[in-house]
Amino acid sequence: MSETICAVATPPGRGGIGIVRISGSACQRVARELLGFIPSPRTAIHTDFCAPDGETLDSGIALYFPSPASYTGEDVLELQGHGSPIALERIVGCILDQGVRLANPGEFTERAFRNDKLDLAQAEAVADLIASGSAEAGRAATRSLTGEFSLRIRELDQRVLKLRMFIESAIDFAEEEIDFLGDTEQQSRLDEMRSLVEALIDRSTAGLTMQIGLDVAIAGAPNVGKSSLLNRLLGEDRAIVTATAGTTRDTLHGDLSLDGLPVRLTDTAGLHASDDPIELMGMERAQTALSTADCVLWVIDDADENLSTPDMYRGKTLVVRNKCDLTGNTPGAVGKTEFRTCALTGAGLSDVCEGLKQVAGFRAGTDAFAGRPRHIAALKRVDDALSQAAKELSVREGELVAENLRVAHESLGEIVGITTSDDLLGEIFSTFCIGK
Ligand SMILES: Nc1nc2c(ncn2[C@@H]2O[C@H](COP(=O)(O)OP(=O)(O)O)[C@@H](O)[C@H]2O)c(=O)[nH]1
Ligand SMILES: [Mg+2]
């Protein structure tokens, strides 16, 4: 941690502005070397950035944030020059000559975490905000980043600790006349905590869903209207549509957003018996798309009486009975997983979209947190421990109640990074971008 680190904080390539960020105790030395002076704290100063031989590498704004009032908690120097990869590389080269090393991915944020500027859930939200693919996912990440999620976790932890203290002292007084553990108030405290945990699981799952989205494969026999469905859902003429069977051979992709839920659609070649080698290769690709998708839109002709759905795939299947304009059936949901559509007019497709949201566990609303699988797993452990504790409390097994409350406390601590192993920390920060 004592090493000073440096990285270009702006994305690679040419741009309006390019920022070099330095964090650590060598910032003042670097400032003196490149700028000739140490900028006043937190003041934007226009200056030249110079090499040791006096050559001007670029000019721009220098910003100095002395420790501890900085992003990382250490001395931080930011040089905001032009977005020229060459100029940035030369500036970084001069800084590295000062005994500074290049930052690892996420190292600035890791230092912020280690210096208590952010807790772990907030640090993760930084990466989630950068990676967010929709306004809704961005909002969920911001909600976590500002500490709203962490606050809920800490409040819950306080409740767990309070009850644990009560239970532990009740164990000590077990011989006394008063039956502390039989008190119904403790049972209702546990119930309250469980509903808080469950709400947090819901809100985090909603955020995770928005972050990872849903992979959907469109499949079925040739000519049932798969490519027409893709085009309709995307609102553009992506795939070639003809009345000739076997038009689609390669898999085709398209992205759409359903109220902030990112959906990746894959159109596939029609599955049927064929000995055309190109079609066979297309069908093989279709099988691969089916086996990796989260959800399959299995398209059939509405006139088709034989409903044979694929059951060997891991994803959920929604049956789409297309061309309902020809059968005269009403478009829309037939059941929870079956729909009638007309890909020519788009009739019935809004119901299919609702079905996809259902499959993803997506819920509308504005209270999602940028959940990560590890948060949700930890919250589920908390939920299990609390439900276990409730059972044990009802048979007055004080010691076991206390033990489960300890487990709940530890799992909550893992989320915000109080009780997190170094390995896990390394894993989390290594997925960040360099310069963050
Ligand atoms: N009447 C009618 N024709 C459709 C509908 N959907 C697709 N088609 C037609 O069916 C033919 C095959 O469509 P296409 O999307 O290429 O099917 P794919 O082979 O499953 O991809 C084309 O002539 C489409 O215009 C629909 O809902 N109603
Ligand atoms: Mg097609």
Short-list 145, 345, 332, CA closest to 225: 345
Residue 435 lies in a domain: no
Banded model confidence at residue 421, pLDDT cuts 50, 70, 90: confident
pLDDT given for residue 175 in this prediction: 65
What is the distance in A from the centroid of ligand 2 to the CA of 268? Answer: 7
Same-domain status, 127 and 37: no
pLDDT given for residue 226 in this prediction: 96
Identify whether the C-beta of residue 291 lies closer than 8 Å to the C-beta of residue 302. Answer: no
**288 and 163 in one domain?**
no
Q: Give residue 135's pLDDT.
A: 85
pLDDT tens for residues 226-260?
999 999 999 988 898 988 888 888 899 999 999 88
The residues pairing with 301 across neighbouring beta strands, listed in sequence order, are: 322
Cα–Cα distance measured from residue 364 to residue 148, given in angstroms and rounded to the nearest whole number: 19
For ligand 1, atom 26, the nearest C-alpha belongs to 323
CA of 6 relative to ligand 1 center, distance in Å: 56
Mean per-residue pLDDT of the chain: 91
Of 314, 339, 360, the one marking the end of a domain is 360
pLDDT in tens, 115-156: 999 999 999 999 999 888 888 888 999 999 999 999 999 999
Q: Does any domain span residue 151?
A: yes
Residue 387 lies in a domain: yes
Q: How confident is the model at residue 210 (pLDDT cuts 50, 70, 90)?
A: confident
Query: Cis ω on the peptide bond leading into residue 41 (within 30° of 0)?
Result: no
Stated pTM of the model: 0.76
| Per-residue confidence (pLDDT) for residue 247, from 0 to 100 | 87
Same domain, 65 and 165: no
The set of protein residues with a Cβ atom below 6 angstroms from ligand 1 is 222-228, 241-243, 247-248, 270, 322-323, 325-326, 342-344
Domain of 98, in residue numbers = 5-117
What percent of the chain shows pLDDT beyond 70? 95
pLDDT band (50, 70, 90) for residue 315: low
For a ligand 1 pocket test, name from 218, 223, 226, 228 the mutation site with the most ligand atoms within 8 angstroms of its C-beta. Answer: 228
57 and 135 housed in the same domain: no
Cα 115 from Cα 69, distance rounded (Å) = 11
Whether 436 is in a domain gets the answer no
Take residue 311 and report the two structure tokens written for it.
């059951």
CATH assignment at residue 243: 3.40.50.300
Are 218 and 338 found together in one domain?
A: yes
pLDDT for the residue 434: 78
Q: Which of 70, 100, 117 is the last residue of a domain?
A: 117
Domain boundary among 117, 139, 164: 117
Q: Whose CA is nearest to atom 12 of ligand 1?
A: 223
Residues 41 and 96 in one domain: yes
